[in-house]
Amino acid sequence: MIRFHLKCDQDHEFESWFQSGDAFDKLVAGNMVNCTACGSTKVRKMIMAPAVSTASRIVPPKPSESQLAALRDKVEASSDYVGKGFAKEARDMHDGLVPERPIYGEANLKEAKKLVEDGIPVVPLPFMPRKKTN
């Protein structure tokens, strides 16, 4: 995992974690990285000093409840919920079998790892879809 300091075209600065630098590049190219303040997909990496930790595990800061709620609202308003068919739908879009569009849904760890290994950009969401909650 790698943390990048990011800036959007509206000069909002924020940080986010990615599996790798290549994963970041693929997600940005697919307009899948959004500014946390305005939602812009025109995002770039900023220069940052490397962080050196003596701890065995680096834990990213937890987002606030309002940030999570705003992210959930944005994802649900701008994406199609595909439920447990997420992995198949993401693969079909990647392979050109169905038109590309923003989607979210559910995948188990094995399915998600296979998508990433095959170069299909996916990002875990820090919330359960409303369609799954009462």
Highest-confidence segment of 13-22, 48-57, 66-75, 80-89: 80-89
Q: What is the DSSP string of 81-100?
A: EEETTHHHHHHHHHTTSS--
69-80 exposure pattern, b = at least 16 Cβ within 10 A, e = fewer:
eebbeebeeeee
The domain of 33 spans: 1-45
Is 14 among the domain residues? yes
Q: Domain check: are 33 and 84 in the same one?
A: no
Q: Which one is predicted more confidently, 55 or 134? A: 55
73 and 38 co-located in one domain: no
Residue range 18-45: mean pLDDT, rounded: 89
In a domain, 33, yes or no: yes
Mean pLDDT of the chain: 86
Q: DSSP letter at 49?
A: P
Mean pLDDT in residue range 91-104? 93
108 shares its domain with 70? yes
How distant is the alpha carbon of residue 82 from its chain centre?
A: 16
State the Cα–Cα distance between residues 127 and 2, nearest whole angstrom. 21
Q: Kindly state whether residues 32 and 73 are assigned to the same domain.
A: no
Unique residue bearing structure tokens 């959007």: 8
How buried is 98 (Cβ within 10 angstroms: 0-12 exposed, 13-18 middle, 19+ buried)?
middle
- Check pLDDT > 80 for residue 104: yes
